[in-house]
Amino acid sequence: MRDFDDLKKIFPSFSDELINEIETNSIRQSYKSGDVIMRTGQYINNTLLILKGQIKIYREGENGGEFLMYYLQPGQACAVSMICATKSQTSQIMAKVVEDVDLIMIPLTLMEKWMMEHRSWYEFVIFTYRTRFEEVLEVIDNIAFRAMDERLEFYLKRHADACGSKDLKLSHQEIATELNTSREVISRLLKKMEQRGMVKLHRNHMELLT
């Protein structure tokens, strides 16, 4: 009963029947911060539902650079895993745990079955696709039409929203990797933002003030 109540709280749109199906057919798994739980080229056998923690979804370039797509929070699902699962395709993205995570793994064999049998699952999947598509479009627009200082400001605000905190534990090198630029450029731009009263820089973290 406790598992049922927990799921209902995190996924309030799910019907009772769907939650019972999830409890019966899924596997719960926990991962630590830094764990890579999905890699490029890997076959996806399960759809992921997030119960606790945070996962970063990104693309990895040939030179080791990263292209941040979006973060996954409790109550959300990975749209890419859903697409790969339904098409039996390999992953084109990476998924890394940012904060210790508990998740539910749903076998791909149930995807289409639940789409037909459970209206609440169907609506959840469609909402997930639409939300992630809009997020990726926003990131693409940001890269294509903004200068690096604007991209940095956008990145910091997006990270703060995802973490629910303006105290950001990000290194200059980590930001540079995700924005595909050099650490020196990021350090210079952050210093300018501090001078403008937008951030407060500390040794191992920074505060977003705007």
All domains in the chain, ordered by first residue: 2-143 (2.60.120.10), 147-208 (1.10.10.10)
Max mean pLDDT among 133-147, 160-174, 193-207 falls in 193-207
Instruction: Say which residue, 98 or 60, is predicted with more confidence.
Output: 98
Task: List all residues 6 or more positions away from 53 whose beta carbon is below 8 Å from its beta carbon.
Answer: 31, 74, 97, 98, 99, 100, 101, 102, 103
Local confidence band at 186 (pLDDT 50, 70, 90 cut-offs): very high
d(CA 30, CA 18) in angstroms, rounded, equals: 22
What pLDDT was estimated at residue 35? 95
Full-model pTM: 0.73
Q: How many CA atoms lie within 13 A of 57 on its CB side?
A: 22
> H or E element: which one contains 182?
none
Residue 34 CB: number of other CB atoms within 10 A? 9
pLDDT at residue number 180: 80
CA dihedral 93, 97, 101, 106 (to 10 degrees): 20
CA 18 to CA 114: how far, in whole Å?
8
pLDDT at 104: 93
Per the prediction, the chain carries an average pLDDT of 87
Q: What is the pLDDT of residue 88?
A: 63
Q: pLDDT tens-digit profile of 64-114?
A: 667 788 889 999 998 877 876 666 677 888 999 999 999 999 988 888 889
Contact 71, 57 (CB under 8 A): yes
Note whether 95 and 105 are within 8 A (CB). no
Q: How far apart are CA 114 and CA 116, in angstroms?
A: 5
User: 15-24, 33-42, 80-89: which has the minimum mean pLDDT?
Assistant: 80-89
**pLDDT higher at 63 or 206:** 206
pLDDT at 11 over 90: yes
| Per-residue pLDDT at 207 | 92
Residue 2 has pLDDT above 70, yes or no: no
Residue 46: is its pLDDT beyond 70? Answer: yes
